[in-house]
Amino acid sequence: MNKALRVVALCGSIGVLLSACTKTDGPAPSAEKASADAAFQKKLQEQLLDAKPGSVIEIPAGTYHLSSGLTLRGDGVTIRGAGMDKTILSFKGQVTGPEGLLVYGNGFTIENLTIEDSKGDGLKINDGDTITVRKVKVQWTGGPKVTNGAYGIYPVKTKNVLIEDSVAIGASDAGIYVGQSNGVIVRRSRAEGNVAGIEIENTVNADVYENVATNNTGGILVFNMPNLSQAGHSTRVYKNKVEKNNLGNFAAKGTAVASVPAGSGIVINSNSKVEIFDNDVIENQTANVIISSYHSTGYYTEKGVAAGYDPYPKAIYVYDNRFKGGGDSPDGLDLKALKIAMYGLSGHLPDVLWDGYVDTRLMVKGVLPADQRICVQKDADVLNADGPNKYKNPSKDAAPFRCELAKLPPVTIAQLAAQS
């Protein structure tokens, strides 16, 4: 919810930095290591400043302790480590700069390294076209804390984004977040121990598939927030494993993501044209799937909501998923009371929970147009929680949801098209 993301052989050809880049059997003396890390940081930032289109900045295996954030402004640059768990940029002692690595540029690739313990966001990519994040881990190593950075992997206002085979752990907002972007694929990645595991926000044309989201507060989120540069639509969430996302919410109070209930599997909020299919959604204690409106989030901006903002979920299609468990211990007094009233102490909320908010302006004889409906195939039961009336008249009737929608086309992005 909420939320905005070539110079060859850095160390191999530069003898003066060999001591900083060579992995040793034991820890170096602290003064020597600090000096080596400072030299490494200075040279790396120089290379980022001097990088030209086609530059490849290679960072050998080792753990490098950095005291300030890094910035790249330029097109066509690749940053490449020796492996996700071999090249580690640690910002645990970061003094200056809000991000670990901040990037402005087109044609950017980062791969085969870890960024950890940054003061703010781990990897933020702003305003770029043709972005690849491959085999990158961003993590906070001290467990879930409100003081962790908000976002792990964070492209915002970007186009043609590929995030694959990556890992995000411990973000106090979203581990993998793509916002206000167009043409996005997030695949074969893992999000664990974040407030939101994977979040697609105010983004157009996104495919999220073959990922694992586990032990987050919410597993996979597809959101539209108000007062941003564009509205999102057309997202497919499929072939993911979304399991046991029951972590207590540790987001900063007042942030939008702080309203996500622990135990949320896949959450759609105020978005449209969203497909959820062929996923394994397992033991998320509030509900395996939540479909909701901005009206039920409890989050309101101080500036108000722009007049053109559409707060209602529309054209949502849930089909051919495999659900197991879940809904047995919902977060929040209202949902707990709803569960007990509808299903008893030992019961559980159904796999799909809808808050009941609907755009009545579009309804004809009490029904939305066929292409605007929420459709849930018979593999899942549905509860209309009747949020507009404070849960007074919830309904288990699934008949209104037994419908079909036209399926969305796959997302095609530039770097994949070039490889075909």
* Radius of gyration, alpha carbons of the chain: 22
Every domain of the chain and the residues it spans: 42-114, 140-410
340-392 tens-digit pLDDT: 999 999 999 999 999 999 999 999 988 899 999 999 998 899 999 999 998 99
Q: Tell me the pTM.
A: 0.91
pLDDT of residue 291: 98
pLDDT tens-digit map of 234-257: 999 999 999 999 999 999 998 889
Q: CA-based diameter of the chain, in Å? A: 77
What residues contact 419, with CB distance under 8 A and at least 6 apart?
Answer: none
Would you state the pLDDT for residue 302? 63
Write out residues in the chain with pLDDT < 70, as ranges.
Answer: 1-29, 300-303, 417-420
Looking at residue 419, its pLDDT comes to: 65
Identify any residues that bridge with 129 across adjacent strands, giving them in sequence order: 159
SS3 track for the chain = CCCCCCCCCCCCCCHHHHHHHCCCCCCCCHHHHHHHHHHHHHHHHHHHHHCCCCCEEEECCEEEECCEEEEEECCCCEEEECCCCCEEEECCCCCEEEEEEEEECCCEEEEEEEEECCCCCCEEEECCEEEEEEEEEEECCCCCCCCCCCEEEEEECCEEEEEECCEEECCCCEEEEEECCEEEEEECCEEECCCEEEEEECCEEEEEECCEEECCCEEEEEECCCCCCCCCEEEEEECCEEECCCCCCCCCCCCHHHHCCCCEEEEEECCEEEEEECCEEECCCCEEEEEECHHHCCCCCCCCCCCCCCCCCEEEEEECCEEECCCCCCCCHHHHHHHHHHHCCCCCCCCEEECCCCCHHHCECCECCHHHCEEECCCCCEEECCHHHCCCCCECCCHHHCCCCCCCCCCCCHHHHHHC
Which single residue is written with the structure tokens 């979040």? 199
Please give the pLDDT value at position 307.
85
pLDDT at 30 (0 to 100) = 79
pLDDT at 165: 98
The per-residue pLDDT for range 206-218, each reduced to its tens digit, is: 999 999 999 999 9
pLDDT number for residue 308? 87
Give the mean pLDDT of the chain.
91
Residues pairing with 111 in the sheet? 80, 134
pLDDT of residue 9: 31
